[in-house]
Structure 1
């Protein structure tokens, strides 16, 4: 190992004479004075900037160019260093050294990061004093601000926005009088009016950072326009390049997606783990992600966010109760070939209509905000603020606020019933038996023997006694799958029952669900009844 004392001891002596030493000392003193002077000048330039922290505590500087244009730049970024150098050259007519610039930038980065900041940066959407803001991300630095019963375009919003390199410019809305939000229905495909109502209300909620916004998930087979629906919504609210985020692979990557996207969009999302499902739930309700910082032993790096989410999938990627409580899922059917249209033609028409659609959406949000404080519900789903605002949006658009809340509750509860069926081996055995053999009528003993053919796990095989005790419980949630179970009059052979399949059902159990259930069958789950009142849901 090298010894510093030995290196200094064995170093060659300085051969220069006294005059050379004096010149060297003078030059060094002059250089030190120059560096000190440059440092002070750079400090003055940096001190003139306004500093803000984002939701993760990362420092940014608001820089005003000679034309009065404001730009938000991350401190220590390449853009910040170049801006600092340019300002120095313009004011003092000389170039500072890069080390001088970096040293000053590091100092201000530390100073801002450890300071108490009262203002935070927003990503695309913001809120202050009940007013909502949308960053148009254009060269004029325009934003939309929305208040109760009105909206306008401004260059001086009440919040500051940060921008990422992938964000694209939002279209400028048309005049308020030309707005028509329902024009978007020309480009979105649904099975019924209920899906229209739920989707339009959710779209309006996605711009509001002051309420918890849901996951909007389009579910359907290939060719059902689920991806097109989501792309249109993202193009309207938060256009980016690329338009879709990669599927969820690990917690760290997912946290980065949430921190860099105002409305993350996951396309064709497969089944996700409990960990990923929990991260989605915390991203919706407002939490964050924490891990060890690189090249440190104990420092933690923290990302904070609260987002609405767009998602498409062949089937719901999670059946966890917390996920279902935060998800508005829209089940789509495959589009017949005769109803398909050219993508190019569709997108060209949509771009022409987008300003009017955007203005109509802003009109809808403003009017819904006006009514929102006066609407009280006595039946509230998990996302109560979203439900109340969504009911106001539904009413503004000509739907019934009662229908919105009722269908929102049913949207969640039907999937919970589906989860109960999939996780219950007896229920899944009944579904498989009816799909294969049709209706059943007979004794519970013969039914138990028939069902045991479809139960994979030997430890979960059932007897006639066990089946008889559970039929009433099972019947309560099998009805949503279109299967009716009724007990018949007892015969000499024993207890009897009838199982019939109806044409209509709220929940469809797919072959994939059957496969999933066969791999992960659990013990019998207890059923929580949920009855939707047909009375008025508002006080």
Structure 2
């Protein structure tokens, strides 16, 4: 008698699986299983504690009276299913926020019944998405959100800001714009940096913002010690919130830039010699802290400073969180109402800002509610430029040298000549010794100036590079002051 006739378990398992589940693969080759009619997908090789497909399959067969099978039969059946699924069309899996059909956006509420929020051009509603439109991936960081309330008339946003200690309306409207941006699957948003004196409620406010998107189980975390752990945490959730930052290493700063605007991590797959594991990520990021020291220019363009102040009346943690949890359905409903309204507003995209998508979102917020979000965003970036300059002696020296140039004038030299020139400007007549970290070669100076280009341009100093027959050069130009009529138009724009 053939082995298959003696032990048909793998055929029984395979038939049951194909009747009750849909199997597909993602672009990186990972095979997922999706119960018929349910939007949540699980990788068939997962052994995680959030519920693997193997466990789901075993429970289903037991409850339906098919039987209980040993591990060998399950492994053989899943091996066959995985091989068959590799011939299917690819489909993406999403965490928390996903694009849908006809310009819609979906928000995963993290519920067992699969109910999600569909945000479309004319409103939003609660439904179970078609599995071929949206495939949700769940992890331990995927918390459950309450069903949002309808017809809130904006009361939820008011209740939210009554629980926070923002210093002014500008910080509140920028925070609101960031929350709207978090509901967009393809819009990179700058990272709010909640700052203020000790006792201003930075961590509490940050925790509230995370829980609006991630549910009451969402929380802040300490910055991981290495990039690999940071990427793993980022890939497992939607909003990544780092609490109580006191300094910013260059590696952490670079990793944060990648998180905000998107990047890909490639590493060797476990238990293989030649295979690799790819991880693409772009996530909303939130930071809290009193002062992180020197901010690098590329990160400054991706930050959104939001300032808080110490409250005059203190409340207990239990009272505060009880009120927040009660208000969360209304807060979420108000946020969804506002998102629909803002997305429907028409506005021009500012072309002079690095985070153009968020700048356009701020312009849409202004078109919908006239809150001055775009101007507040520009002011916040200007403040960050001041912080970068105050923490960078090279930037201060470049600006000091530019002050000796007439508006519209330019100077072109090699990087080595510029190093000598700027070192002389810094040393001055007192012949001050060059500080630690000062560029030691022309190449280092050129790299530093390229990194400082946006910051210096915001102060009217343009840095450019090129090559002639004689070699490479760096050019510094002091931008001419705007004409009076042009200056009035710029002021009117603000």
Question: Where does residue 409 of structure 1 map in the other structure?
Answer: 378
Pick aligned residue for 2:9 from 11, 27, 38: 38
Q: Deviations over 1:242-290 (max 9, x none)?
A: 6123313111101101110110111112323222222221222222211
**8 Å contact 2:107–2:183 — kept in the other structure?**
yes
Q: Which secondary structure state, in structure 2, belongs to the residue aligned with residue 289 of structure 1?
A: strand
Question: Where does residue 402 of structure 2 map in the other structure?
Answer: none
Q: Deviations over 1:348-367 (max 9, x none)?
A: 12222222211111111001
Q: CA deviation at 1:31?
A: 5.1
**8 Å contact 1:244–1:267 — kept in the other structure?**
yes
Please provide the CA RMSD for this pair. 3.1
Q: Which secondary structure state, in structure 2, belongs to the residue aligned with residue 152 of structure 1?
A: strand
Q: CA deviation at 1:236?
A: 1.0
**8 Å contact 1:291–1:302 — kept in the other structure?**
yes
**Is 1:99 the equivalent of 2:72?**
yes
2:269 and 2:217 map into 1 onto residues whose CA distance is 28
Q: Which secondary structure state, in structure 1, belongs to the residue aligned with residue 493 of structure 2?
A: coil
**Is 1:232 the equivalent of 2:208?**
yes
Pick aligned residue for 1:167 from 142, 149, 159: 142
**Is 1:135 the equivalent of 2:108?**
yes
Q: Which secondary structure state, in structure 2, belongs to the residue aligned with residue 414 of structure 1?
A: helix
Q: Deviations over 1:107-145 (max 9, x none)?
A: 333443x44634211101111232111111123321111
Equivalent positions of 1:492-511 (< 5 A) are none
Question: In structure 2, do the counterparts of structure 1 residues 54 and 212 end up closer, same or farther at CA, with 3 Å as the change threshold?
Answer: farther
1:201 and 1:426 map into 2 onto residues whose CA distance is 31
Q: Pick which of 43-52 and 132-141 moved more.
A: 43-52
Question: In structure 2, do the counterparts of structure 1 residues 278 and 70 end up closer, same or farther at CA, with 3 Å as the change threshold?
Answer: closer
Q: Deviations over 1:27-64 (max 9, x none)?
A: xx4655232x2222222223332124457653221114
Larger-Rg structure? 1
Q: CA deviation at 1:382?
A: 1.1
1:359 and 1:121 map into 2 onto residues whose CA distance is 25
2:352 and 2:428 map into 1 onto residues whose CA distance is 41
1:398 and 1:172 map into 2 onto residues whose CA distance is 29
**Is 1:273 the equivalent of 2:249?**
yes
Question: Where does residue 341 of structure 1 map in the other structure?
Answer: 315
**Is 1:63 the equivalent of 2:5?**
no
Q: Which secondary structure state, in structure 2, belongs to the residue aligned with residue 81 of structure 1?
A: helix
Consecutive unaligned residues in structure 2, runs of 5 or more? 398-422, 440-444, 461-486
**Is 1:243 the equivalent of 2:219?**
yes
**8 Å contact 1:178–1:359 — kept in the other structure?**
no
Question: In structure 2, do the counterparts of structure 1 residues 74 and 118 end up closer, same or farther at CA, with 3 Å as the change threshold?
Answer: closer
**Is 1:47 the equivalent of 2:18?**
yes
Q: CA deviation at 1:463?
A: 2.3
**8 Å contact 1:198–1:408 — kept in the other structure?**
yes
Question: Where does residue 118 of structure 2 map in the other structure?
Answer: 145
TM-score, structure 2 length as denominator?
0.76
2:255 and 2:83 map into 1 onto residues whose CA distance is 30
**8 Å contact 2:349–2:360 — kept in the other structure?**
yes
Q: Which secondary structure state, in structure 2, belongs to the residue aligned with residue 254 of structure 1?
A: helix
Equivalent positions of 1:385-534 (< 5 A) are 385-400=357-372, 404-424=373-393, 462-464=427-429, 520=437, 527-530=456-459, 533-534=490-491
1:362 and 1:106 map into 2 onto residues whose CA distance is 43
2:254 and 2:94 map into 1 onto residues whose CA distance is 24
- Count how many residue pairs are aligned between Structure 1 and Structure 2: 420
Consecutive unaligned residues in structure 1, runs of 5 or more? 1-28, 429-457, 468-516
Question: Where does residue 82 of structure 1 map in the other structure?
Answer: 55
Q: Pick which of 86-95 and 41-50 moved more.
A: 86-95
Question: Where does residue 259 of structure 2 map in the other structure?
Answer: 283
Q: Which secondary structure state, in structure 2, belongs to the residue aligned with residue 60 of structure 1?
A: strand
1:366 and 1:309 map into 2 onto residues whose CA distance is 23
Question: In structure 2, do the counterparts of structure 1 residues 93 and 422 end up closer, same or farther at CA, with 3 Å as the change threshold?
Answer: closer
Equivalent positions of 1:347-386 (< 5 A) are 347-371=321-345, 374-386=346-358
**Is 1:194 the equivalent of 2:163?**
no
**Is 1:328 the equivalent of 2:304?**
yes
Q: Which secondary structure state, in structure 1, belongs to the residue aligned with residue 344 of structure 2?
A: helix
Q: Which secondary structure state, in structure 2, belongs to the residue aligned with residue 406 of structure 1?
A: helix
